[in-house]
């Protein structure tokens, strides 16, 4: 993930902003995009993303009440799904079912 941020930083660093036109002179002002405030905001975004990833890992790794509540809701919805479509409890729903069709019986009489 760090590589993605680094690549994005390199790309944005090379871009230039040249869109400000003066009134009668039509002078184009060009400036580099690597000003300190933008770099600071990128660092804050990286920090927020890494913080949220750590929070999610902690939520998954520990038996928190939120995780237990979510697991109970998922199990309830799973059992409702199984009942409504006629699946047994030990049947794996993540695998696509295989269908077997018998050859149709064709009557060979043309009379």
pLDDT digits (tens, 9 = 90+) for 62-105: 767 777 788 889 889 999 988 998 888 888 878 887 888 888 88
Token pair for 17: 């902003």
3-state SS class at 29 = strand
Q: Within 10 Å of residue 21's Cβ, how many Cβ atoms?
A: 11
Token pair for 77: 């919805």
Categorize the per-residue pLDDT at 36 as very low, low, confident or very high, splitting at 50, 70 and 90. Answer: low
pLDDT at residue 24, rounded to an integer? 46
Q: How far apart are CA 16 and CA 14, in angstroms?
A: 6
Check pLDDT > 60 for residue 22. Answer: no
Q: DSSP label at 91?
A: S
Q: Which residues pair with 16 in a beta bridge?
A: 32
Q: How far apart are CA 73 and CA 86, in angstroms?
A: 20
- pTM as predicted: 0.33
Q: How far apart are CA 62 and CA 73, in angstroms?
A: 18
Nearest Cα residue to 12 out of 29, 31, 28: 31
């Amino acid at each position: 993930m760090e590589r993605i941020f680094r690549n994005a930083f390199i790309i944005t660093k090379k871009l230039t902003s040249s869109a400000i036109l003066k009134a009668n002179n039509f002078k184009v002002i060009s400036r580099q995009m690597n000003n300190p405030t933008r770099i600071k905001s990128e660092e804050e975004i990286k920090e927020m993303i890494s913080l949220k990833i750590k929070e999610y890992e902690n939520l998954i790794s520990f038996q928190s009440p939120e995780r237990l509540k979510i697991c109970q809701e998922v199990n309830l919805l799973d059992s409702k799904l199984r009942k409504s479509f006629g699946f047994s409890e030990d049947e794996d729903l993540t695998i696509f079912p295989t269908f077997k069709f018998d050859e149709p019986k064709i009557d060979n009489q043309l009379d």
